[in-house]
Amino acid sequence: MHSPRPSSLPIMKRSRPTPPPTPPLSTAKSTAPIFKKPKSKATIPPKWVPLGLSLSELSLPLTFPTGQTFRWKQTGPLQYTGVVDSYLISLKHLQDGEVSYCFHQHATTGDENNARVALLDFLNIRISLSEIWEVFSASDPRFAELARHLGGARVLRQDPLECLIQFLCSSNNNITRITKMVNFISSLGNCLGTVEGFEFYQFPGLERLAMVSEDELREAGFGYRAKYIIGTVNALQSKPGGGTEWLASLRNLDLHEVIDALSTLPGVGPKVAACIALFSLDQHHAIPVDTHVWQIATRYLLPELAGARLTPRLCSRVADAFVSKYGKYAGWAQTLLFIAELPSQKALLPSQFCSAKEKKAAKSKNGKTCSAN
């Protein structure tokens, strides 16, 4: 398989999500989500059904609020709600860590079966997280130790159009603004219902997106990204057979072909292309290289490059180093290593995972170093 070859476009800085720390299941407390609307109860009493996934295969707090998607909302302690295809679904952890789901709409048994199939596909359930982590852990003691504390961080298999538009919003941006932009785009679709004060929408298709003007997006706070979104929608509409089909067809190509194809769209550089490839197009060894991944690489994979300036050529070298170390699921390994660097998660790790600078800062703040876990 080919490793990603970033072009000469400028390096972009990945927005670092700041999700709430992952609490023990027995002591979890609700965290107030962003953009909370006036509370209203769901119209359908929840009927929770076991999904058949353990905590080792899916940790909701390590999967949804960590920068893969900006459409899922925390709607309760260890509970997240979002839309898959046209289905409004909530997921939550039970006390034993098992995952259950709730399908919110009135539906026939057939609809519920279809929703479950779509959900499992979205969760990339064909890939056993515990199996690939066992392989990584056998060759990397540090990964093995991290996996003990951050189990269940999955890579999602999102709808390609939805993923593309979200990451166009993410370029040189922060989580609050990205979420606001994605909420605006989402609201152009059909409303599917309200859960815990949040309104949820089916993501709009290309035809609906084509009805939005650049001025409307700029007025909604998109800035220069408005031009890229409009340009990308127009480019997709001109694709033979339609843009949705074209995006889906990229799943059948090699990674370097996927990166090259996506990079022809307005506003899509190598890092955004790699995110879309990893999170929606089955390119499991795609590595979105930004300054944070660069820091991880120079500490643990390429220490000889510490102090060098990140360039497009070095982006390619970093991606190659991850693939050489972790193989065809290198993007999954990189995702865990990235999550482990988030301040909210690092605070839960044993002290050996903290740098001397971080230990000193933590001690001065609360008299402790890192977690005693």
Nearest-angstrom CA–CA distance, 230 and 179: 19
Q: For residues 291 and 13, is the Cβ–Cβ distance under 8 A?
A: yes
Angle of CA points 59, 60, 63, to nearest 5°? 85
227 is catalytic: no
CA distance readout (Å), 352 to 61, 69, 142, 303: 23, 30, 10, 18
DSSP state string for 6-35: --SSPP-PPP---PPP---GGG----PPTT
What are the phi and psi torsion angles at 296 (to 5°)? -60, -45
Q: For residues 222 and 214, is the Cβ–Cβ distance under 8 A?
A: no
Question: Which residue in the list 271, 325, 328, 365 is annotated as catalytic?
Answer: 271
Q: For residues 225 and 168, is the Cβ–Cβ distance under 8 A?
A: yes
> What is the token pair recorded at 340?
């482990």
Catalytically active residues are: 271
